Homo-oligomer: A and B are copies of this chain.
Amino acid sequence: ENLTFGQYSLVYNAFSFTFATMAAATLFLWLGRSQVGPAYKTALTISGLVTAIAAYHYFRIFESWEGAYSVKDGIVTASGYAFNDAYRYVDWLLTVPLLLIELILVMRLSQEETVSKSFKLGGAAALMIILGYPGEIATDIPTRVLWGTLSAIPFVYIMWQLFAGLGASINNQPENVRELVKKARLLTFASWGFYPIVYMIPYTNLSGSDVTVGVQVGYTIADLIAKAGVGILIYMIAVRKSQAEY
């Protein structure tokens, strides 16, 4: 079940790439704050927070990956220091509610609606992450299935809210951003749907090292899209809405 040097390097470089992308996205989003109207500054602040928190965690994940293996003369062996999977879940616990709040903010609903939706969706998101973690670190498949299924309940609730609940308010958006808001929602939907799929990779009969690589690279791609990708869309929405409104 040992990793080959190629597998090790793929994950290593994916983590480094993601750290750089998240850090770059953070600076882009925060520098962009000066280019949007006051109502959208908070959305960019939060978008940048999401990528900043992710940059921090990818830095840690990178170091943890490096520490978990000894690589000498192209041979990869476990160092005996465990790779810390919890960084991801800790990251999500912070960033998933923020991402939802960011989507809500950019829609510019009424103040009460913003607060109530933020609490409901943020709470459901936290529950989803907390229920998923025991499954992620479980060593047997039935335990993984059990917690994954429980975690899917708040997941489905959030997805339903995003479509049904926020659907109405999309039609109140200015013409030139309606498409972008729809795209942001779609990108959120598609990228979030990726996580449970990655979670299910161990259910297949791939070898141990392929599963490790698949899960790490899979979550990494999903994070890139859900955080940096959605962040850039939020930026474009904020710039266009500012042009229309200020």
Least distance between A7 CB and chain B CB atoms (Å): 13
A103: interface (CB < 8 Å): no
**Are B17 and A93 interface neighbours, CB within 8 A?**
yes
A24 in contact with B42 given A80-B73, A90-B16 (CB within 8 Å): no
A174 to B90 CA separation, bound complex (whole angstroms):
38
Least distance between A35 CB and chain B CB atoms (Å): 6
Tell me the A residues contacting B by CB distance below 8 Å.
5, 9, 12-13, 16-17, 20-21, 23-24, 27-28, 30-35, 38, 41-42, 45-46, 48-49, 52-53, 56-57, 60, 71-74, 80-82, 84, 86-87, 90-91, 93-94
Least distance between A237 CB and chain B CB atoms (Å): 13
27 pairs of residues in contact across A and B, judged by CB atoms under 8 Å: A5-B82, A13-B90, A16-B87, A17-B90, A17-B93, A17-B94, A20-B53, A20-B57, A20-B90, A21-B94, A24-B52, A24-B53, A27-B49, A27-B52, A28-B45, A28-B46, A30-B31, A31-B33, A31-B41, A31-B45, A34-B41, A35-B41, A71-B81, A71-B82, A72-B80, A73-B80, A74-B82
